[in-house]
Amino acid sequence: MSSESSLTCEALLNSAIEQIGGESPRLDAELLLCHATGLGRTSFRAWPEREVALDQAQAFRELVAERVKGLPIAYLLGQQEFWSLPLKVSPSTLIPRPDTECLVETALELPLPENARVLDLGTGTGAIALALASEKPRWQVVASDRVEEAVELARENSRSLQLPITVVQSHWFDQIPESGFDLLISNPPYIPVSDHHLNEGDVRFEPPSALVAGDDGLDDIRLLVAEGLQHLNPDGWMLLEHGYDQGEAVRNLFAAAGWRNIETRKDYGGNDRMTLARKPASDQ
């Protein structure tokens, strides 16, 4: 192959697809070529012979090499869509997952006041908080994260999407003195430290602090369930994401701490994925 022909979109894509392999090599390669060239995906299809500038071809090859090492596409693009919101992502936070949109859907169905006060704990990119703010402009949404880079990222996403939320740096409730929330929502770390999934796929490149929670994966959930009650209004809700096999354990934690209306719900794949519970009314 001559050096000239190797710089067409088609040649670059074909060589990348071969190297990337895995589940979705064409999609990955196309997304990376869009990122390197600023072109849209349809333009490669309509005009595969289109020449790519040398510096852009070089940038593309570097991205492909990172992908071959396993780096998540979202980190290479610096962006991931969640609830149709284009969120900036970085290796300091978890990449938002589609299944976490089920948490947002469930929160939106709860019987909450029109101007509900909501706290998203361990917000990362700000995904859950920003999705809720986009749907409920009258809610007062606070988001917290222990990691400074995550706090900055969530603030940046809030600014660029023009969705006003308050982001505070806090390890769970440590810097949250207020009570009076109507909803506490979180996608906390919940993977057991010895889980083999941690050695596979995207999670290898995500921060362990966002994924791993002790021997049984429940360390952070235990804390949230125990401390949540004192930050909620009577009748307020807590909604937690957890592992597919943790539903019963999480329901038991809520029950032991005196919560009511405890219910586990499934994700889009039909797996147990979240449990919600309500703080008892004050006269109970």
Binding residues for S-adenosyl-L-methionine are 122-126, 145, 172, 187
The least distance separating ligand GLN from the CB of residue 193, rounded to whole angstroms, comes to 12
Q: How far is CA 238 from the centre of its chain?
A: 18
Select the span of 9-17, 65-73, 152-160, 187-195 touching ligand GLN (CB under 6 A): 187-195
126 in contact with ligand GLN (CB under 6 A)? no
204 in contact with ligand GLN (CB under 6 A)? no
Question: Smaller CB distance to ligand GLN: residue 9 or 203?
Answer: 203
Task: Phi first, then psi: give them for residue 45, nearest 5 degrees.
Answer: -70, -45
124 in contact with ligand GLN (CB under 6 A)? no
251 in contact with ligand GLN (CB under 6 A)? no
Task: Phi first, then psi: give them for residue 255, nearest 5 degrees.
Answer: -60, -45
146 in contact with ligand GLN (CB under 6 A)? no
Residue 169 burial (10 A CB sphere; 0-12, 13-18, 19+) = middle
Select the span of 31-39, 102-110, 151-159, 182-190 touching ligand GLN (CB under 6 A): 182-190
Cβ atoms of 87 and 125 closer than 8 Å: yes
The least distance separating ligand GLN from the CB of residue 226, rounded to whole angstroms, comes to 19
**Terminal CA-CA length for the chain:** 78
Question: Smaller CB distance to ligand GLN: residue 172 or 190?
Answer: 190
For residues 271 and 164, give the distance between their C-alpha atoms in angstroms, rounded to a whole number.
33
Question: Smaller CB distance to ligand GLN: residue 63 or 191?
Answer: 191
190 in contact with ligand GLN (CB under 6 A)? yes
Please count the residues of this chain forming the interface with ligand GLN, following the rule CB under 6 A: 8
Both tokens of 232, joined, read: 């909620």
Question: Smaller CB distance to ligand GLN: residue 258 or 269?
Answer: 269
The least distance separating ligand GLN from the CB of residue 192, rounded to whole angstroms, comes to 10
C-beta contacts of 62-70 below 8 A and 24+ residues apart: 63/32, 63/35, 63/36, 64/16, 64/19, 64/20, 64/29, 64/32, 67/20, 67/28, 67/32, 68/19, 68/20, 70/201, 70/202, 70/204, 70/205
Cβ atoms of 9 and 16 closer than 8 Å: no
Among 97, 155, 171, 265, binds ligand GLN (CB under 6 A): 97
Both tokens of 16, joined, read: 């990348």
Question: Smaller CB distance to ligand GLN: residue 44 or 83?
Answer: 83
Question: Smaller CB distance to ligand GLN: residue 11 or 147?
Answer: 147
Other CB atoms within 10 Å distance of the CB of residue 109: 8
Interaction site with ligand GLN (CB under 6 A): 97, 187, 189-191, 203, 211, 241
